[in-house]
A and B are shown apart, each in its own frame.
Chain A
Amino acid sequence: MPKDGGIGASSKRREDVRFLTGNGKYTDDINLRGQTYVHFLRSDIAHGTISSIDTTAAAAMPGVIRIFTGADFEGVGGIPCGWQVTDKHGDPMQEPAHPVLAQGKVRHVGEPIAAVVAETAAQARDAAEAIELDIAELPAVVDMKAALEDGSTKVHDDLTSNLCYDWGFVEENKGAVDKAFEEAAHVTSLELVNNRLVANPMEPRVAVGDYDKSSDDSTLYTTSQNPHVIRLLMGAFVLGIPEHKLRVVAPDVGGGFGTKIFHYAEEAFCTFASKQLNRPVKWTSSRSEAFMSDAHGRDHVTKIELALDAENNFTALRTETYANMGAYLSTFAPSVPTWLHGTLMAGNYKTPLIYVNVKAVFTNTVPVDAYRGAGRPEATFQLERVVDKAAMELGVDPIALRRQNFITEFPYATPVAVEYDTGDYHGTMDKLEEIADLSGFEARRKESEAKGMLRGLGVNCYIEACGIAPSNLVGQLGARAGLYESATVRVNATGGLVVMTGSHSHGQGHETSFAQVVAEMIGIDESMVEIVHGDTAKTPMGMGTYGSRSIAVGGSAMVRATEKIINKAKKIAAHLLEASEGDIELKDGAFSVAGTDKSVAWGDVTLAAYVPHNYPLEDIEPGLEETAFYDPANFTYPSGAYACEVEVDPDTGKVTIARFAAADDFGNIINPMIVTGQVHGGIAQGIGQALLEGAAYDENGQLLTGSYMDYAMPRADDLPFYSVDHSSQTPCTHNPLGVKGCGEAGAIGSPPAVVNAVVDALRSAGKDVTHIDMPLSPARVWDAMN
């Protein structure tokens, strides 16, 4: 019987009511008295030297208040990078300056050059068109391998080359890995591209800077997944504003998917200009601007090799990846192809020897950073494709080959420096075979063939690492931030609670699921718990939401803070009941003395805490408010198995997703409805990557996919109903809720399933196809067939 509240219940989302009635409060819905508007003049060429910027005519246009250029930001810090990777020689990565507005050169299409502040948005836009710009165009560097050739044009003159870093992992294992390849009975190799994507949350980015002269305080309203991180980076590294004079608010945020983690120039500009002008300054991105200024995702070119022994056991894995950084280092860009990618290369398999090499490259393109999954989809895609290819070459069943090599004993220390605490990979595969009805596939293939269509089945596994931590470890790996999470639980006199979390919800439903956890712990109705997030003035220092960390890390902080509340409340209850604290039990919102019928209600205890007339004042303070910071001992490791069935039209190459099934192990589940929704969304993004999406540049660095007219977003009629199951649960062993995280799984697990299925479909028609690069457009599939 499903629960109707608390942990495990599919509680309806409380945030839905405001969203469904037009009462959400997104950043663009904020308008302040005296507000001005900024429009950024952006580079329309990929690489060039700025000869002159003449703003004379523009400044005289109606409504123009001031025009800013790079010269106004001399002496102002640049946009910082939050992660320093050390290369295989032990040297730090090359780290270029990243100005708020271009200084002397432009390095990608979309880079902001000047900012026009005017009374209206239209006036700012009009005036920007009147700026006379003279840029001497330079050759653009777009292709990563060409960028590393001797004599290539450099994106940054002050760096030695376009190589950000050359990373080897684990460098000490390289010799042993190479030796295993020499001794292998079979080697399968595959070269592939993990296509460049644009995250495209439906809400474009917005920033509103608001300086208060009376208090000398600055406030930034912004579309961010992590307002405290923005406050720290912008305050300390860009503008030199101490954190106690800077407030960052991220209200309702319309999706993030990674690209709203990062600190962007527009945020710093609006905050800076508001103080300069002593008026609020608002920027609302158009979708066209978003395509050329939001950090992109993926964009890896990889060669992967898998060594097997004569019994088809995996003996070694070796990869070489080129990872595009774009023109500048976005906030967490260096970590994505390294620590979020290399550490996942073991996947679900007990491959004993692994070596990962990653060369990160600067190009004249928009910066690339984390996008849903961030490194883990790239790892999963190449691994699951090469395993499928190995099965094909060896003539064995791809599921059987996977099962033969599954890790089955936990904890399991991989050769790539992480230790999986729990998992049941056979269990999720068993569940997948059931929900996907894999035994019925051959009959469905015959039905498709009778219609003249090719049908293929693709299956793959994935392992994810969520809740990246602990802080002291990630510090050693180069993170310039901690990765804990915080929560303050404030109990009011009448028994209601406000939980202030450092996590941030931008579609995940935290206001509902977080309340379920706290309500369950105390035994009260969920409606008594309010979740507050997204405002540095209200919540304790928190690291925000990304990497599927909110329930695993943020939820754990909330549990710890609530435990402190309960412990103190028990002391108060013991006093009120004239009993020993050790005998007090909390159940269903009442404290009782074990073995007796004496009890006191939750609300009586909370009232006593704030009206302490009958209260042990000599022993404990009045009030009931506690804060906890939780720093996990390890990552969590969700895993799963996915199956995709496609139909391919042999005449056109068009691929249709016929069936899609996902069996995930997320450990314990707080709200099954929300978890299922997260998987659905991830699958759609994964199918989008596999079939439709791809950011494309021409050889001059022009972005060819700059709008929804030419960047193919998945639409309702591109996708099927999905079959999703998360009943296979091995609880995380090291956090109090036993949870693992579910936000990225769908996007990680689905691309290889789709490509495996299409390759299978083509091979069923006798086509000698081993791989097609994503997106699998009809043209690419048709080319592969013919």
Chain B
Amino acid sequence: MAQVSMTVNGTAASGEVEGRTLLSSFLRDTLEMTGTHVGCDTSQCGACTVHVNGTLVKSCTMLAMEADGAEVSTIEGQANADGSLNVIQQAFQDHHGLQCGFCTPGMVMTAAALLKENPKPSEAEVRTYLEGNICRCTGYHNIVKAIMAASGQDVAAIAAE
């Protein structure tokens, strides 16, 4: 067992881990931050996506020890300071971009990374960027729409019901 320390959503966090402990397990089991979900074991579904030092990472694919000293952002840290939904979260609610909610944390974290890299993505760019995130409920229509809306684009014109 080894001690790891990191900053999670701006707060110092530490705990004992095995060498094989994944970052996703450290967040969920050690820190009891269960907003990050695990939907597969082959790094395909993206439900566990977080940001590590500003980079999009599937937390089931990174060892907790690799994140020692890192700045980690998770879904729990995305809302505005007053607790209200941030622009992306609000767009997901406004455009019904989630149903069961299980893939949603990964989708929101991925959308945040996309909009940081590309503030006005096209439909095709959004769809390509979401390749590593699987949603089984929405058929992606409203997720793509929500992300484009969050980027300030007029989605009523491009995505009829």
B58 interface residue per 8 A CB criterion: no
- Which residues of the partner chain B approach A202 to less than 8 Å between Cβ atoms? 37, 39, 45, 47, 100, 102-103, 134-137
- Cross-interface CB contact of B18 among A122, A506, A709, cutoff 8 Å: A122
Q: Report the Cα distance A719→B28, complex, angstroms.
A: 32
Whether A20 and B33, one on each chain, are in contact in the complex, defined by CB atoms closer than 8 angstroms, is no
- Which residues of the partner chain B approach A12 to less than 8 Å between Cβ atoms? 93-94
Whether B131 and A716, one on each chain, are in contact in the complex, defined by CB atoms closer than 8 angstroms, is yes
A17 interface residue per 8 A CB criterion: yes
Q: Report the Cα distance A22→B105, complex, angstroms.
A: 7
B127 interface residue per 8 A CB criterion: yes
Whether A287 and B41, one on each chain, are in contact in the complex, defined by CB atoms closer than 8 angstroms, is yes
Which A residues, 259 to 291, have Cβ-Cβ distances below 8 Å to chain B? 286-288
Whether A681 and B161, one on each chain, are in contact in the complex, defined by CB atoms closer than 8 angstroms, is no
Contacts A13-B93, A201-B100, A287-B39; A722 near B75 (Cβ below 8 A): no
Whether A707 and B41, one on each chain, are in contact in the complex, defined by CB atoms closer than 8 angstroms, is yes
A680 interface residue per 8 A CB criterion: yes
B139 interface residue per 8 A CB criterion: yes
- Which residues of the partner chain B approach A254 to less than 8 Å between Cβ atoms? 37, 39, 100-103
Closest to B143 in A: A716
- Give 1 or 0 for each of B110-152: 1 = CB within 8 Å of chain A CB: 0000000000000110111011011111111111110000000
A674 interface residue per 8 A CB criterion: yes
Whether A707 and B85, one on each chain, are in contact in the complex, defined by CB atoms closer than 8 angstroms, is no
Whether A509 and B136, one on each chain, are in contact in the complex, defined by CB atoms closer than 8 angstroms, is no
Closest to B34 in A: A29
- Which residues of the partner chain A approach B11 to less than 8 Å between Cβ atoms? none
Whether A506 and B131, one on each chain, are in contact in the complex, defined by CB atoms closer than 8 angstroms, is no
Whether B45 and A677, one on each chain, are in contact in the complex, defined by CB atoms closer than 8 angstroms, is no
A19 interface residue per 8 A CB criterion: yes
- Give 1 or 0 for each of A5-19: 1 = CB within 8 Å of chain B CB: 000000011011111
A676 interface residue per 8 A CB criterion: yes
- Which residues of the partner chain B approach A19 to less than 8 Å between Cβ atoms? 98, 101, 104
A173 interface residue per 8 A CB criterion: no
Chain B CB within 10 A, most for which of A12, A21, A203, A713: A21
- Cross-interface CB contact of A26 among B102, B144, B145, cutoff 8 Å: B102
- Which residues of the partner chain A approach B42 to less than 8 Å between Cβ atoms? 287-288, 707-709
Q: Is the interface of B mostly helix, strand, loop or mixed?
A: loop
- Cross-interface CB contact of A21 among B39, B75, B123, B127, cutoff 8 Å: B75
Whether B161 and A676, one on each chain, are in contact in the complex, defined by CB atoms closer than 8 angstroms, is yes
Whether B140 and A509, one on each chain, are in contact in the complex, defined by CB atoms closer than 8 angstroms, is no
Closest to B18 in A: A122
- Which residues of the partner chain A approach B104 to less than 8 Å between Cβ atoms? 19-20
B16 interface residue per 8 A CB criterion: no
- Give 1 or 0 for each of A162-173: 1 = CB within 8 Å of chain B CB: 000000000000
Question: How far apart are B97's CB and chain A's nearest CB, in angstroms?
Answer: 9
Whether A15 and B141, one on each chain, are in contact in the complex, defined by CB atoms closer than 8 angstroms, is no
Q: Report the Cα distance A726→B47, complex, angstroms.
A: 31
Contacts A252-B101, A507-B100; A716 near B127 (Cβ below 8 A): yes
Whether B96 and A203, one on each chain, are in contact in the complex, defined by CB atoms closer than 8 angstroms, is no
Closest to A506 in B: B100
Q: Report the Cα distance A203→B105, complex, angstroms.
A: 13
- Which residues of the partner chain B approach A677 to less than 8 Å between Cβ atoms? 96, 99, 137-138, 142
Closest to A677 in B: B96
Whether A23 and B137, one on each chain, are in contact in the complex, defined by CB atoms closer than 8 angstroms, is no
A685 interface residue per 8 A CB criterion: yes
Total contacting residues, chain B, CB less than 8 A: 62
A717 interface residue per 8 A CB criterion: yes
Total contacting residues, chain A, CB less than 8 A: 60
Q: Report the Cα distance A13→B104, complex, angstroms.
A: 14
B160 interface residue per 8 A CB criterion: yes
Q: Report the Cα distance A567→B159, complex, angstroms.
A: 45
Closest to B74 in A: A22
Which A residues, 706 to 722, have Cβ-Cβ distances below 8 Å to chain B? 707-709, 713-717, 719, 721-722
A725 interface residue per 8 A CB criterion: yes
Whether B144 and A16, one on each chain, are in contact in the complex, defined by CB atoms closer than 8 angstroms, is no
A24 interface residue per 8 A CB criterion: yes
- Which residues of the partner chain A approach B26 to less than 8 Å between Cβ atoms? none
Which B residues, 63 to 111, have Cβ-Cβ distances below 8 Å to chain A? 74-76, 78-79, 85, 89, 92-94, 96, 98-105, 108
- Cross-interface CB contact of B92 among A20, A681, A682, A725, cutoff 8 Å: A20
Whether A722 and B45, one on each chain, are in contact in the complex, defined by CB atoms closer than 8 angstroms, is no
Question: How far apart are B42's CB and chain A's nearest CB, in angstroms?
Answer: 5
A573 interface residue per 8 A CB criterion: no
Contacts A200-B136, A255-B136; A723 near B161 (Cβ below 8 A): yes
Contacts A673-B96, A674-B96; A717 near B127 (Cβ below 8 A): yes
Whether A722 and B141, one on each chain, are in contact in the complex, defined by CB atoms closer than 8 angstroms, is yes
A100 interface residue per 8 A CB criterion: no
- Which residues of the partner chain B approach A682 to less than 8 Å between Cβ atoms? 139
- Which residues of the partner chain B approach A17 to less than 8 Å between Cβ atoms? 85, 93
Whether B140 and A719, one on each chain, are in contact in the complex, defined by CB atoms closer than 8 angstroms, is yes
Which A residues, 722 to 748, have Cβ-Cβ distances below 8 Å to chain B? 722-725, 746
Q: Report the Cα distance A680→B138, complex, angstroms.
A: 6
Q: Report the Cα distance A668→B31, complex, angstroms.
A: 46
Q: Report the Cα distance A26→B47, complex, angstroms.
A: 13
- Give 1 or 0 for each of B20-44: 1 = CB within 8 Å of chain A CB: 1000000011001111111111101
Whether A20 and B102, one on each chain, are in contact in the complex, defined by CB atoms closer than 8 angstroms, is no
A153 interface residue per 8 A CB criterion: no
Whether B131 and A681, one on each chain, are in contact in the complex, defined by CB atoms closer than 8 angstroms, is no
Closest to B102 in A: A254
Contacts A26-B102, A254-B101, A708-B44; A16 near B160 (Cβ below 8 A): no
A28 interface residue per 8 A CB criterion: yes
Q: Report the Cα distance A16→B134, complex, angstroms.
A: 18
Question: How far apart are A17's CB and chain B's nearest CB, in angstroms?
Answer: 7
Which A residues, 640 to 677, have Cβ-Cβ distances below 8 Å to chain B? 673-674, 676-677
Whether A23 and B35, one on each chain, are in contact in the complex, defined by CB atoms closer than 8 angstroms, is yes
- Which residues of the partner chain A approach B94 to less than 8 Å between Cβ atoms? 12
- Which residues of the partner chain B approach A716 to less than 8 Å between Cβ atoms? 126-128, 130-131, 133, 135, 140, 143-144
A462 interface residue per 8 A CB criterion: no
Whether B34 and A288, one on each chain, are in contact in the complex, defined by CB atoms closer than 8 angstroms, is no
Q: Report the Cα distance A719→B124, complex, angstroms.
A: 10
- Cross-interface CB contact of B134 among A21, A204, A715, A723, cutoff 8 Å: A715
- Which residues of the partner chain A approach B103 to less than 8 Å between Cβ atoms? 202, 254
- Cross-interface CB contact of B98 among A20, A28, A31, cutoff 8 Å: A20
A40 interface residue per 8 A CB criterion: no
Whether B39 and A16, one on each chain, are in contact in the complex, defined by CB atoms closer than 8 angstroms, is no
Whether B139 and A680, one on each chain, are in contact in the complex, defined by CB atoms closer than 8 angstroms, is yes
- Which residues of the partner chain B approach A288 to less than 8 Å between Cβ atoms? 41-42
A683 interface residue per 8 A CB criterion: yes
Q: Report the Cα distance A25→B35, complex, angstroms.
A: 9
A257 interface residue per 8 A CB criterion: yes
Complex A-B: 5 CB contacts under 8 Å: A31-B32, A680-B140, A680-B142, A719-B140, A722-B139
B residues neighboring A (CB under 8 Å) = 18, 20, 28-29, 32-42, 44-45, 47, 74-76, 78-79, 85, 89, 92-94, 96, 98-105, 108, 123-124, 126-128, 130-131, 133-145, 158-161
Smallest CB-CB A-B distances: 10 pairs? A22-B35, A19-B101, A254-B102, A684-B139, A507-B100, A708-B44, A507-B99, A22-B75, A680-B139, A287-B40
A715-B131, A717-B128 known, 8 other contacts, Cβ within 8 Å = A20-B89, A22-B36, A24-B101, A201-B100, A203-B37, A681-B136, A713-B136, A716-B126
